[in-house]
Amino acid sequence: MAHDDLVEAGRALATGARALERVLGDMTLAQFRVLSVVASSPERASRIAERADMSRPSLSGLLDGLASRGWVERRVVAGDRRGVRLEVTPNGHAALRRAQAAVSEAMAAILVDVPFDERDAVRRALVVLARAFDERATSSRAVQEAPTS
């Protein structure tokens, strides 16, 4: 892929992120990302930071906001005084469903501007890209956890 195409693709991702942020209303993209990760599998905070691709200090502040809104709860991990497990509350699940519906609608509206015969290819490419981002976060975690000799 040519350099200019990659720059254009990056610009498209940035523009798309801004468009999605506008439809989320009172939820930020970072909150949407973290709430989605926690909802997919309640885990310890350190794992959530890795899966959401953010630093632990950033996650801590974000979780404070999610908890103050009643969207997540922190639970103590049995046998680990410092361990915290995160769970999405019923209100958090409702907020996430609203956000997912808004994102879905926004993506559908954006795809209307894509030539009809290319829409499925674009949608599939975005799904592949999402998986690549997830894989990169997983691979990064595996490298960080690998024992050193």
Residue 1's SS3 state is: coil
Residue 80 gets which letter from DSSP? E
Q: What is the pLDDT of residue 143?
A: 52
Domains in the chain, ordered, with CATH?
3-145 (1.10.10.10)
Cβ atoms of residues 72 and 66 within 8 Å: yes
Q: What is the pLDDT of residue 140?
A: 59
Q: Is the pTM of this model over 0.85?
A: no
Q: What is the pLDDT of residue 122?
A: 93
Q: What is the pLDDT of residue 86?
A: 85
Q: What is the pLDDT of residue 13?
A: 92
Residue 147 gets which letter from DSSP? P
Give the CA angle between residues 14, 20, 21 to the nearest 5°. Answer: 90
Q: What is the pLDDT of residue 52?
A: 79
Q: What are the residue ranges in the chain where pLDDT is below 50?
A: 149
Q: What is the pLDDT of residue 141?
A: 52
Region of residue 53 (phi > 0: left; psi between -120 and 50: alpha; otherwise: beta): left
Q: What is the pLDDT of residue 59?
A: 87
Residue 94's SS3 state is: helix
